[in-house]
Amino acid sequence: MVKATGDKRVFLFLQGPHGPFFHRLGAMLRKTGAEVWRVGFNAGDRAFWFHPKSYLPYRGIPDEWRGWFCDLVEARGITDIVLYGDVRAIHAQAVEEAKARGLTVHVFEEGYMRPYWVTYERGGSNGHSRLMRMSVDDMRRALELSDMEAPLPPAHWGDMRQHIFYGALYHWFVMFRNGEYRNFQPHRSLSVFQEFVLYLKRLLLMPFGWADRVIATTRIRMGGFPYHLALMQLEHDSSFQQHSPFDTMPDFVDLVIAGFAEGAPGHHHLVFKAHPLEDGRAQVRRAMAQSARKHGVADRVHYVRGGKLAQLLNDARSAVTVNSTAAQQVLWRGIPIKVFGDAVYAKPEFVSTQPLPDFFALPTRPDNKAYKDYRRYLLETSQLPGGFYSARGRRQLLRQVVDMMLSPDDPYDALSRGTAAPRQQLRVVH
């Protein structure tokens, strides 16, 4: 009999999603017999790790981090590192050194099959994921070992309010309790105070945003015109910063409007759908209005704050994005999509290669069968039901992910080798 055990495993946690998920995960790994440590870079990290004996504060300057990390790995006998996202400088350096030493790198991210699932991979995520090197045919061969029915995607992200709450609380700790971490530098361009203000503002203005969204969505749905969707992203998000050809989101906005003005029929409209966590820092709404006027289509371009994408997708003719995970909902419905950045779903079978004006004029439809095979492959491997931010979402995620972390096989190899655990039935978390 072989049982999942953490004996002789030493896990080092770096930065995680806001809130207590990493603490809960570390506590469960400790119960398997593993040794668990956590490096904290600021008071926000410290606030959500409730096991002081395993907490290791890093108070050095950024240039000293790589050497400090390597010394820690040797001193503690680290076998595994655990992190959320792999592109911020401290994580990128740690991943590089960990791989050079043969350590297992566990990477968490928001779900590729958003809005509900969570992503768990080994070695890298998004543009660094193994999925980037896989073809649909590779996935189909692996799926020959499975006959799972892929669950339908839920229509909403179940823990948005908790996500915003934990983000605001995290930045409050960094802003007011960070005296011990004077060398801390955030991985984003805004100051901690500015981040806190934006989180607080978004939390307080949620009712007003809801009203604005309802009005805009109603106008579009009642307008009776064909429309195309532009799926916005957070400009500071790692997928946009590291895996796209654009420096700013307004650059993307202007390119899309120019292509729409040139190629779309005169009676078609263009709808920019903001990311649910958009906080106004990139001034995308102003950039959209200016570009629409410049290209002579101001009366045919609309903006919708956050909200449920499904309501707008039901009648959309096509969609464009940099590399948003929301494109998965587009593809699931068989709607044509144009992608500009690196994305795990950017496979030639179902993502358009047309020039943008041609795409808006007459978009080619995706190979829906190929996409369904791709989607089923992800749900059998790296996509786990649950969430980081709500208590019920964390419980559902923890039921499965610890066994996957202890497995000698990464999620993709586990399916090919027949060692993947049965998947839970999907339960939408509110």
Residues 12-37 pLDDT 10s: 999 999 999 999 999 999 999 999 99
In the chain, CATH 3.40.50.2000 sits at 206-346
Q: Are 376 and 148 in contact (CB under 8 A)?
A: yes
With a cut of 50, say whether residue 200 has pLDDT above it: yes
Measure CA of the first residue to CA of the last residue in the chain; give whole Å. Answer: 38
Query: What is the Cβ-side half-sphere exposure of residue 118, based on CA atoms within 13 angstroms?
Result: 27
Whether the bond between 336 and the residue before it is cis, its omega within 30 degrees of 0, is no
When the pLDDT of each residue in the chain is averaged and rounded to a whole number, the result is 88
Residues 381-396 pLDDT 10s: 999 989 999 998 999 9
| Tokens at 305, concatenated | 């704050």
CA distance 245 to 310: 27
Query: What is the Cβ-side half-sphere exposure of residue 345, based on CA atoms within 13 angstroms?
Result: 35
Q: Which of 41-45, 216-220, 369-373 shows the lowest per-residue confidence on average (mean pLDDT)?
A: 216-220
With a cut of 80, say whether residue 187 has pLDDT above it: no
With a cut of 90, say whether residue 141 has pLDDT above it: yes
With a cut of 90, say whether residue 273 has pLDDT above it: yes
Return phi, psi of residue 162, to 5°: -65, -40
Residue range 67-94: average pLDDT?
A: 97
| Tokens at 343, concatenated | 């994305």
With a cut of 60, say whether residue 46 has pLDDT above it: yes
Select the CATH number that applies to the domain covering 10-161+382-417 from these four: 1.20.58, 1.20.120, 3.40.50, 3.90.105.
3.40.50
Q: Residue 378: name the closest of 179, 196, 57, 138 by CA.
A: 138
**3-state secondary structure (DSSP) of residue 237:** coil
Q: How many CB atoms lie within 10 A of CB 179?
A: 7
Q: Are 50 and 67 in contact (CB under 8 A)?
A: no
CA distance 16 to 53: 18
pLDDT at 155: 42
pLDDT at 298: 96
With a cut of 60, say whether residue 413 has pLDDT above it: yes
Please enumerate in sequence order all residues whose Cβ is within 8 A of that of 175, keeping only pairs 6 or more positions apart, or say none.
Answer: 192, 193, 196
With a cut of 80, say whether residue 2 has pLDDT above it: no
Residues 316-354 pLDDT 10s: 999 999 999 889 999 999 999 999 999 999 999 999 999
Better-scored residue on pLDDT, 6 or 75: 75
Pairs from 67-76 (Cβ < 8 Å, separation ≥ 24): 69/39, 69/93, 69/94, 69/97, 70/97, 72/12, 72/39, 73/12, 73/97, 73/98, 73/101, 73/103, 76/10, 76/12, 76/35, 76/37
H helix count then E strand count, the chain: 17, 12
Percentage of the chain lying above the pLDDT 90 cut: 65
Residue range 94-123: average pLDDT?
A: 94
pLDDT at 351: 96
pLDDT at 171: 84
Domain spanning 206-346 has what CATH number? 3.40.50.2000
pTM, 2 dp: 0.85
Better-scored residue on pLDDT, 392 or 104: 104
pLDDT at 279: 58
| Tokens at 320, concatenated | 């464009």
C-alpha dist (Å) from residue 260 to 230, 313, 381 = 10, 18, 37
Query: 239 falls in which pLDDT band (50, 70, 90)?
Result: confident
CA distance 398 to 379: 16
Residue range 123-143: average pLDDT?
A: 95
Q: Are 219 and 307 in contact (CB under 8 A)?
A: no
pLDDT at 215: 74
Better-scored residue on pLDDT, 146 or 285: 285
pLDDT at 430: 40
